[in-house]
Copies of this chain bind each other. A is one copy, B any other.
Amino acid sequence: MTIAVTDTAPTEAIATETVLSVDAMGGDNGPATVVAGLALFLGKCPDAKVILHGPETELSPLLTAKNLTNSVTIHDASEVVKMSDKPSSVVRNGKKTSMWSAIEAVRSGQAQVCVSCGNTGGLMAMSMLRLRKAEGVNRPAIACLWPSHNPSGFNVMLDAGADIRADQDDLLAYAMMGASYARNGLDITRPRVGLLNVGVEKHKGRAELKVAHELIAGAADAGDFEYIGFVEGGDLPSDRVDVIVTDGFTGNVALKTGEGTANLIAGLLRTNLKANPLSMLGAILAQGALKRLRKKVDPRGVNGGVFLGLNHTVIKSHGSADPTGVAAAISLAYRLAQSGFSDKLAARVASAVSLAQDTRDETDAKS
Protein backbone atom coordinates (compact mmCIF):
# COMPACT_ATOMS: atom_id res chain seq x y z
CA MET A 1 0.00 0.00 0.00
CA THR A 2 3.06 2.23 -0.11
CA ILE A 3 3.02 4.93 -2.77
CA ALA A 4 6.23 6.57 -3.89
CA VAL A 5 6.28 10.24 -2.99
CA THR A 6 6.58 12.31 -6.14
CA ASP A 7 8.37 15.63 -5.97
CA THR A 8 6.76 17.06 -9.09
CA ALA A 9 3.28 18.47 -9.39
CA PRO A 10 0.95 16.15 -11.26
CA THR A 11 0.26 17.44 -14.75
CA GLU A 12 -3.47 16.87 -14.73
CA ALA A 13 -6.32 14.90 -13.23
CA ILE A 14 -5.88 16.03 -9.63
CA ALA A 15 -8.41 14.06 -7.65
CA THR A 16 -11.60 16.06 -7.08
CA GLU A 17 -12.25 14.16 -3.87
CA THR A 18 -11.05 15.64 -0.59
CA VAL A 19 -7.69 14.16 0.37
CA LEU A 20 -5.88 15.07 3.58
CA SER A 21 -2.21 14.52 4.29
CA VAL A 22 -1.63 13.47 7.90
CA ASP A 23 1.73 13.11 9.65
CA ALA A 24 1.33 10.09 11.96
CA MET A 25 4.52 10.76 13.90
CA GLY A 26 6.04 13.40 16.15
CA GLY A 27 3.20 13.91 18.62
CA ASP A 28 3.78 13.30 22.32
CA ASN A 29 1.45 10.31 22.27
CA GLY A 30 2.73 8.46 19.20
CA PRO A 31 1.03 7.16 16.04
CA ALA A 32 -1.60 5.04 17.83
CA THR A 33 -3.19 8.27 19.08
CA VAL A 34 -3.14 9.80 15.61
CA VAL A 35 -4.74 6.69 14.13
CA ALA A 36 -7.36 6.68 16.89
CA GLY A 37 -8.11 10.33 16.01
CA LEU A 38 -8.33 9.41 12.34
CA ALA A 39 -10.84 6.70 13.20
CA LEU A 40 -13.00 9.23 15.09
CA PHE A 41 -12.83 11.65 12.16
CA LEU A 42 -13.56 9.03 9.48
CA GLY A 43 -16.52 7.79 11.51
CA LYS A 44 -18.07 11.23 10.91
CA CYS A 45 -16.70 11.91 7.40
CA PRO A 46 -16.55 8.49 5.74
CA ASP A 47 -16.06 10.01 2.25
CA ALA A 48 -12.74 11.63 3.12
CA LYS A 49 -9.49 10.12 1.93
CA VAL A 50 -6.30 10.34 3.98
CA ILE A 51 -2.63 9.84 3.18
CA LEU A 52 -0.86 8.87 6.40
CA HIS A 53 2.90 9.39 6.71
CA GLY A 54 5.26 7.34 8.87
CA PRO A 55 6.98 3.92 9.08
CA GLU A 56 4.71 1.51 7.22
CA THR A 57 5.60 -1.41 9.46
CA GLU A 58 4.36 0.54 12.44
CA LEU A 59 1.29 2.15 10.86
CA SER A 60 -0.07 -0.79 8.90
CA PRO A 61 -1.14 -2.90 11.92
CA LEU A 62 -2.69 0.17 13.57
CA LEU A 63 -4.84 0.88 10.50
CA THR A 64 -5.82 -2.77 10.15
CA ALA A 65 -6.86 -2.93 13.79
CA LYS A 66 -9.11 0.12 13.33
CA ASN A 67 -10.38 -1.16 9.96
CA LEU A 68 -9.28 2.02 8.15
CA THR A 69 -7.40 0.53 5.22
CA ASN A 70 -10.05 1.54 2.68
CA SER A 71 -9.85 5.25 3.45
CA VAL A 72 -6.22 5.60 4.42
CA THR A 73 -3.12 5.18 2.25
CA ILE A 74 0.32 4.96 3.84
CA HIS A 75 3.31 6.91 2.55
CA ASP A 76 6.26 5.13 4.08
CA ALA A 77 8.70 7.46 5.86
CA SER A 78 11.28 5.93 8.13
CA GLU A 79 12.36 8.93 10.21
CA VAL A 80 10.62 11.14 12.74
CA VAL A 81 11.09 14.80 13.66
CA LYS A 82 11.52 14.84 17.43
CA MET A 83 10.05 17.53 19.70
CA SER A 84 13.56 18.48 20.75
CA ASP A 85 14.91 18.88 17.19
CA LYS A 86 15.90 22.40 16.22
CA PRO A 87 14.13 23.83 13.15
CA SER A 88 17.46 24.35 11.38
CA SER A 89 18.46 20.68 11.72
CA VAL A 90 14.96 19.53 10.73
CA VAL A 91 15.27 21.45 7.47
CA ARG A 92 18.80 20.18 6.78
CA ASN A 93 18.35 16.53 7.72
CA GLY A 94 14.62 15.93 7.55
CA LYS A 95 14.07 14.60 4.04
CA LYS A 96 13.23 11.09 5.17
CA THR A 97 10.87 12.16 7.93
CA SER A 98 7.12 11.67 8.01
CA MET A 99 6.71 15.44 8.37
CA TRP A 100 8.59 16.13 5.14
CA SER A 101 6.55 13.46 3.38
CA ALA A 102 3.29 14.95 4.69
CA ILE A 103 4.23 18.40 3.37
CA GLU A 104 5.31 16.96 0.00
CA ALA A 105 1.88 15.42 -0.48
CA VAL A 106 0.22 18.86 -0.48
CA ARG A 107 3.05 20.43 -2.47
CA SER A 108 2.60 17.85 -5.22
CA GLY A 109 -1.18 18.25 -5.22
CA GLN A 110 -1.93 14.71 -4.02
CA ALA A 111 -3.65 16.14 -0.96
CA GLN A 112 -5.22 19.53 -0.24
CA VAL A 113 -4.37 20.18 3.41
CA CYS A 114 -1.59 18.87 5.66
CA VAL A 115 -1.92 18.06 9.39
CA SER A 116 0.90 17.32 11.85
CA CYS A 117 1.16 16.98 15.65
CA GLY A 118 4.93 17.42 15.45
CA ASN A 119 7.44 20.04 16.52
CA THR A 120 5.98 23.47 15.64
CA GLY A 121 9.26 25.14 14.76
CA GLY A 122 10.29 22.24 12.53
CA LEU A 123 6.91 22.09 10.82
CA MET A 124 6.95 25.82 10.13
CA ALA A 125 10.55 25.81 8.86
CA MET A 126 9.92 22.83 6.59
CA SER A 127 6.61 24.27 5.34
CA MET A 128 8.29 27.56 4.50
CA LEU A 129 11.10 25.79 2.67
CA ARG A 130 8.91 23.47 0.62
CA LEU A 131 5.64 25.38 0.23
CA ARG A 132 7.14 28.89 0.10
CA LYS A 133 5.64 32.03 1.51
CA ALA A 134 2.65 33.53 -0.26
CA GLU A 135 3.11 36.77 -2.14
CA GLY A 136 3.38 39.77 0.18
CA VAL A 137 4.09 37.77 3.33
CA ASN A 138 7.40 38.05 5.19
CA ARG A 139 6.60 36.03 8.32
CA PRO A 140 3.85 33.39 8.11
CA ALA A 141 1.77 33.09 11.26
CA ILE A 142 -0.22 30.47 13.13
CA ALA A 143 -3.85 31.43 13.60
CA CYS A 144 -5.86 29.76 16.34
CA LEU A 145 -9.53 29.89 17.21
CA TRP A 146 -10.36 31.24 20.65
CA PRO A 147 -13.70 30.48 22.35
CA SER A 148 -15.55 33.79 22.56
CA HIS A 149 -18.83 35.58 23.25
CA ASN A 150 -19.25 36.21 19.50
CA PRO A 151 -22.14 34.59 17.56
CA SER A 152 -19.74 32.23 15.75
CA GLY A 153 -18.44 31.13 19.15
CA PHE A 154 -14.85 31.95 18.24
CA ASN A 155 -12.34 34.70 17.70
CA VAL A 156 -9.22 34.34 15.58
CA MET A 157 -5.87 35.08 17.24
CA LEU A 158 -2.56 35.25 15.40
CA ASP A 159 0.38 34.73 15.65
CA ALA A 160 0.01 31.89 18.14
CA GLY A 161 3.69 30.98 17.95
CA ALA A 162 5.11 30.62 14.43
CA ASP A 163 7.77 33.23 15.13
CA ILE A 164 8.83 34.84 18.42
CA ARG A 165 9.31 38.18 16.65
CA ALA A 166 7.00 40.41 14.61
CA ASP A 167 7.77 43.90 13.38
CA GLN A 168 5.22 46.49 12.35
CA ASP A 169 4.94 45.18 8.77
CA ASP A 170 4.44 41.62 9.99
CA LEU A 171 1.68 42.80 12.30
CA LEU A 172 0.04 44.54 9.34
CA ALA A 173 0.24 41.32 7.31
CA TYR A 174 -1.22 39.38 10.26
CA ALA A 175 -4.16 41.79 10.36
CA MET A 176 -4.83 41.13 6.68
CA MET A 177 -4.37 37.36 6.89
CA GLY A 178 -6.43 37.11 10.07
CA ALA A 179 -9.25 39.14 8.54
CA SER A 180 -9.16 36.94 5.47
CA TYR A 181 -9.25 33.77 7.59
CA ALA A 182 -12.17 35.12 9.65
CA ARG A 183 -14.02 36.01 6.45
CA ASN A 184 -13.42 32.63 4.78
CA GLY A 185 -13.31 30.38 7.82
CA LEU A 186 -15.91 31.99 10.12
CA ASP A 187 -18.12 33.70 7.49
CA ILE A 188 -17.66 37.19 8.91
CA THR A 189 -18.07 39.64 6.03
CA ARG A 190 -16.17 42.55 7.54
CA PRO A 191 -14.15 41.29 10.51
CA ARG A 192 -13.23 43.64 13.37
CA VAL A 193 -9.47 43.57 13.93
CA GLY A 194 -7.72 44.57 17.18
CA LEU A 195 -4.02 44.88 18.03
CA LEU A 196 -3.04 43.28 21.36
CA ASN A 197 -1.40 45.66 23.83
CA VAL A 198 -1.13 46.33 27.58
CA GLY A 199 -3.80 49.02 27.42
CA VAL A 200 -6.17 50.62 24.95
CA GLU A 201 -4.67 54.12 25.26
CA LYS A 202 -2.69 55.34 22.27
CA HIS A 203 0.55 56.04 24.15
CA LYS A 204 0.84 52.52 25.59
CA GLY A 205 3.08 49.71 24.42
CA ARG A 206 6.23 49.12 22.48
CA ALA A 207 7.39 51.35 19.63
CA GLU A 208 6.56 48.83 16.88
CA LEU A 209 3.01 48.56 18.19
CA LYS A 210 2.47 52.29 17.83
CA VAL A 211 3.64 52.15 14.21
CA ALA A 212 1.58 49.02 13.49
CA HIS A 213 -1.43 50.81 14.99
CA GLU A 214 -1.17 53.47 12.27
CA LEU A 215 -0.38 50.99 9.48
CA ILE A 216 -3.32 48.72 10.24
CA ALA A 217 -5.71 51.66 10.59
CA GLY A 218 -4.56 52.88 7.17
CA ALA A 219 -5.03 49.47 5.53
CA ALA A 220 -8.48 48.71 6.93
CA ASP A 221 -10.46 49.85 3.89
CA ALA A 222 -8.14 48.14 1.43
CA GLY A 223 -8.18 44.92 3.47
CA ASP A 224 -11.95 45.08 3.92
CA PHE A 225 -11.89 44.91 7.70
CA GLU A 226 -12.76 47.27 10.54
CA TYR A 227 -9.85 48.28 12.75
CA ILE A 228 -10.94 48.83 16.37
CA GLY A 229 -7.49 49.78 17.72
CA PHE A 230 -5.63 48.36 20.71
CA VAL A 231 -7.23 45.53 22.65
CA GLU A 232 -6.09 43.82 25.88
CA GLY A 233 -5.72 40.22 27.01
CA GLY A 234 -9.24 40.35 28.43
CA ASP A 235 -10.59 41.01 24.92
CA LEU A 236 -9.40 37.67 23.51
CA PRO A 237 -12.80 36.06 24.28
CA SER A 238 -14.78 39.32 23.86
CA ASP A 239 -17.50 40.10 21.33
CA ARG A 240 -16.14 43.51 20.42
CA VAL A 241 -13.44 42.04 18.17
CA ASP A 242 -13.13 39.11 15.73
CA VAL A 243 -9.40 38.99 14.97
CA ILE A 244 -6.66 39.69 17.53
CA VAL A 245 -3.21 40.46 16.15
CA THR A 246 0.00 39.99 18.16
CA ASP A 247 3.55 38.66 17.91
CA GLY A 248 4.10 34.92 18.27
CA PHE A 249 5.75 35.12 21.69
CA THR A 250 2.89 37.00 23.32
CA GLY A 251 0.30 35.00 21.38
CA ASN A 252 1.79 31.69 22.43
CA VAL A 253 1.90 32.66 26.10
CA ALA A 254 -1.67 33.97 25.91
CA LEU A 255 -2.93 30.80 24.22
CA LYS A 256 -1.35 28.51 26.77
CA THR A 257 -2.45 30.79 29.63
CA GLY A 258 -6.04 30.61 28.41
CA GLU A 259 -5.86 26.81 28.15
CA GLY A 260 -4.24 26.55 31.58
CA THR A 261 -6.90 28.77 33.15
CA ALA A 262 -9.71 26.76 31.55
CA ASN A 263 -8.15 23.51 32.81
CA LEU A 264 -7.71 24.97 36.31
CA ILE A 265 -11.36 25.98 36.48
CA ALA A 266 -12.56 22.64 35.08
CA GLY A 267 -10.49 20.83 37.72
CA LEU A 268 -11.77 23.03 40.54
CA LEU A 269 -15.35 22.61 39.34
CA ARG A 270 -14.97 18.82 39.42
CA THR A 271 -13.38 18.85 42.87
CA ASN A 272 -15.99 21.18 44.34
CA LEU A 273 -18.93 19.29 42.85
CA LYS A 274 -17.63 16.06 44.39
CA ALA A 275 -17.24 17.69 47.80
CA ASN A 276 -20.62 16.62 49.21
CA PRO A 277 -23.65 14.48 48.27
CA LEU A 278 -25.91 17.49 47.68
CA SER A 279 -23.59 19.09 45.14
CA MET A 280 -22.99 15.70 43.52
CA LEU A 281 -26.72 15.32 43.02
CA GLY A 282 -26.83 18.86 41.66
CA ALA A 283 -24.03 18.03 39.24
CA ILE A 284 -25.93 15.00 38.00
CA LEU A 285 -29.04 17.07 37.35
CA ALA A 286 -26.98 19.76 35.63
CA GLN A 287 -24.80 17.36 33.71
CA GLY A 288 -26.25 18.33 30.32
CA ALA A 289 -25.40 21.97 30.99
CA LEU A 290 -21.93 21.11 32.28
CA LYS A 291 -21.27 18.94 29.23
CA ARG A 292 -22.25 21.78 26.87
CA LEU A 293 -19.93 24.12 28.78
CA ARG A 294 -17.08 21.62 28.62
CA LYS A 295 -17.56 21.15 24.90
CA LYS A 296 -17.52 24.89 24.35
CA VAL A 297 -14.28 25.63 26.20
CA ASP A 298 -12.49 22.30 25.76
CA PRO A 299 -9.18 23.18 24.04
CA ARG A 300 -9.37 19.81 22.26
CA GLY A 301 -12.50 20.99 20.45
CA VAL A 302 -10.63 23.84 18.79
CA ASN A 303 -7.35 22.00 18.34
CA GLY A 304 -5.49 23.03 15.22
CA GLY A 305 -3.43 26.11 14.56
CA VAL A 306 -3.60 27.10 10.90
CA PHE A 307 -0.39 28.29 9.24
CA LEU A 308 -1.32 31.41 7.28
CA GLY A 309 0.86 32.99 4.63
CA LEU A 310 2.08 29.89 2.76
CA ASN A 311 1.06 28.62 -0.66
CA HIS A 312 -0.77 25.65 0.87
CA THR A 313 -2.59 25.15 4.14
CA VAL A 314 -0.81 23.32 6.97
CA ILE A 315 -2.47 22.63 10.29
CA LYS A 316 -0.46 22.17 13.47
CA SER A 317 -2.24 19.97 15.96
CA HIS A 318 -1.27 20.22 19.65
CA GLY A 319 1.71 17.96 20.41
CA SER A 320 -0.10 16.47 23.40
CA ALA A 321 -3.43 16.07 21.60
CA ASP A 322 -5.44 12.96 22.45
CA PRO A 323 -7.62 11.20 19.84
CA THR A 324 -10.40 13.80 20.28
CA GLY A 325 -7.93 16.62 19.72
CA VAL A 326 -6.39 14.93 16.67
CA ALA A 327 -9.87 14.36 15.23
CA ALA A 328 -10.68 18.06 15.72
CA ALA A 329 -7.55 19.13 13.84
CA ILE A 330 -8.28 16.73 10.98
CA SER A 331 -11.91 17.89 10.83
CA LEU A 332 -10.73 21.49 10.55
CA ALA A 333 -8.41 20.42 7.72
CA TYR A 334 -11.35 18.73 6.00
CA ARG A 335 -13.54 21.85 6.23
CA LEU A 336 -10.78 24.08 4.90
CA ALA A 337 -9.93 21.63 2.10
CA GLN A 338 -13.56 21.46 1.03
CA SER A 339 -13.88 25.25 0.92
CA GLY A 340 -10.79 25.70 -1.25
CA PHE A 341 -9.43 27.96 1.47
CA SER A 342 -5.76 27.94 0.42
CA ASP A 343 -6.40 29.53 -2.96
CA LYS A 344 -8.95 32.01 -1.63
CA LEU A 345 -6.60 33.15 1.14
CA ALA A 346 -3.61 33.54 -1.15
CA ALA A 347 -5.65 35.59 -3.61
CA ARG A 348 -7.12 37.77 -0.90
CA VAL A 349 -3.84 38.43 0.90
CA ALA A 350 -2.03 39.20 -2.34
CA SER A 351 -4.71 41.65 -3.42
CA ALA A 352 -5.01 43.18 0.05
CA VAL A 353 -1.26 43.63 0.31
CA SER A 354 -1.03 45.24 -3.08
CA LEU A 355 -3.99 47.48 -2.30
CA ALA A 356 -2.35 48.46 0.99
CA GLN A 357 0.86 49.16 -0.87
CA ASP A 358 -1.07 51.41 -3.25
CA THR A 359 -2.52 53.22 -0.26
CA ARG A 360 0.92 53.72 1.25
CA ASP A 361 2.36 54.93 -2.04
CA GLU A 362 -0.53 57.35 -2.33
CA THR A 363 0.05 58.59 1.21
CA ASP A 364 3.75 58.97 0.52
CA ALA A 365 3.02 60.88 -2.71
CA LYS A 366 0.67 63.23 -0.85
CA SER A 367 3.07 63.89 2.01
Which residues of chain B are near A254, meaning CB under 8 Å?
233, 253-254, 257
Among B236, B268, B275, contact of A297 (Cβ-Cβ < 8 Å): B268
Query: A28 on the interface (CB 8 Å rule)?
Result: no
Mark interface residues in A268-301 (1 if CB within 8 Å of B CB, else 0).
Answer: 1100110110110111111111101100110000
Among B250, B265, B278, B283, contact of A262 (Cβ-Cβ < 8 Å): B265
Query: A180 on the interface (CB 8 Å rule)?
Result: no
CA–CA, A84 and B199, complex, Å: 10
Count A interface residues, CB 8 Å: 65
Query: A149 on the interface (CB 8 Å rule)?
Result: yes
Taking CB atoms and an 8 Å cut-off, the chain A residues in 331-359 that contact chain B are: none
CA–CA, A356 and B174, complex, Å: 42
Which of A30-38, A52-60, A201-209 binds B? A201-209
CA–CA, A285 and B273, complex, Å: 10
Among A204, A205, A256, A284, the most chain B Cβ lie within 10 Å of the Cβ of A256
Other A-B contacts than A237-B264, A273-B286, A279-B285, 20 sampled, CB-CB below 8 A, are: A84-B201, A121-B204, A164-B206, A233-B253, A233-B255, A233-B257, A237-B261, A249-B250, A258-B260, A262-B265, A268-B293, A268-B296, A269-B289, A272-B292, A275-B288, A279-B288, A281-B282, A281-B286, A283-B286, A283-B289
Could you give 27 example pairs across A and B, Cβ below 8 Å? A147-B264, A149-B264, A149-B267, A164-B206, A233-B258, A234-B259, A235-B260, A236-B261, A238-B260, A250-B250, A250-B253, A254-B257, A257-B261, A258-B258, A261-B262, A261-B265, A268-B293, A268-B296, A268-B297, A269-B293, A272-B289, A273-B286, A275-B289, A278-B288, A279-B288, A279-B289, A282-B284
A residues with CB within 8 A of B:
83-84, 86, 121, 147-149, 161, 164-165, 196, 198, 201, 203-206, 232-238, 246, 248-250, 252-265, 267-269, 272-273, 275-276, 278-279, 281-290, 292-293, 296-297
